[in-house]
Homo-oligomer: A and B are copies of this chain.
Amino acid sequence: MSGVNERAHKAAHRTPDYTSSGPGDLSVHRMPGHFIRRLQQVAVRLFGDCVGPELTPVQYAALCAIAQTPGAGQAALAALIGYDRATIGGVIDRLEQKGWVARSGSPEDRRLNLLSITPDGQAALARAAPAVLAVQDKLLEPLDQQEREAFERMCLKLLAHHLG
């Protein structure tokens, strides 16, 4: 058993709205915003199931970005993956506690916490990578190749519009 999000999962089984949809339904069950919330829920649960509890989706993204952009400050890192400055601090705290990330001050700009990934962090990242890729695959499992590409293209289009 996965154990992740068991109650909301069981709850969803009783929701009749994702298999048959009556017309004239003004509730949240017909709103794209609600779909996205539910998909996010599904994605997080899949991540927990496949990767394990040592690393959350948020922590994986941060670790990944730190590995790819060594020497960035917290604000720059947050900018890369779309986090809030107020949130990233706690995320890095937890990664630092695990010994996967190191903070070091910058001599040039004493406001900055330069971030770098440790060898242990590299190992954790490498360990998690296959499972993370598996999550993406499972997430889009019910879609055929063409649909997957269309879905990703539309997501990017939406993001480019709203963020770009």
**Which residues of A line the B interface, CB within 8 A?**
5, 7-15, 18-19, 21, 26-28, 31-43, 46-47, 57, 60-61, 64-65, 68, 75, 78-86, 129, 132, 135-136, 139-143, 147, 150-152, 154-164
Contacts and interface: CB of A to CB of B under 8 A. Distances in A.
The 4 closest A-B pairs by CB, nearest first: A11-B79, A142-B161, A12-B163, A35-B155
Given A27-B65, A33-B135, A34-B61, A41 B155 contact: no
A155 B37 contact: no
Copy number in the complex reads: 2
A19 to B, nearest CB: 5
| Of listed A5, A132, A135, A161, residue having the most chain B CB within 10 A | A161
Contacts of A139: 32-33, 36, 158, 162
11 contacts: A7-B78, A8-B84, A11-B83, A13-B164, A18-B160, A28-B60, A28-B64, A31-B136, A33-B43, A37-B57, A139-B162
Given A36-B39, A60-B28, A157 B136 contact: no
Given A39-B158, A65-B27, A159-B42, A47 B33 contact: yes
B32 A136 contact: yes
A82 B38 contact: yes
Contacts of A163: 9, 12-13, 15, 18, 38, 42
A157 B155 CA distance: 16
Contacts of A155: 32, 35-36, 39
B14 A79 contact: yes
Contact of A141 (B47, B79, B161): B161
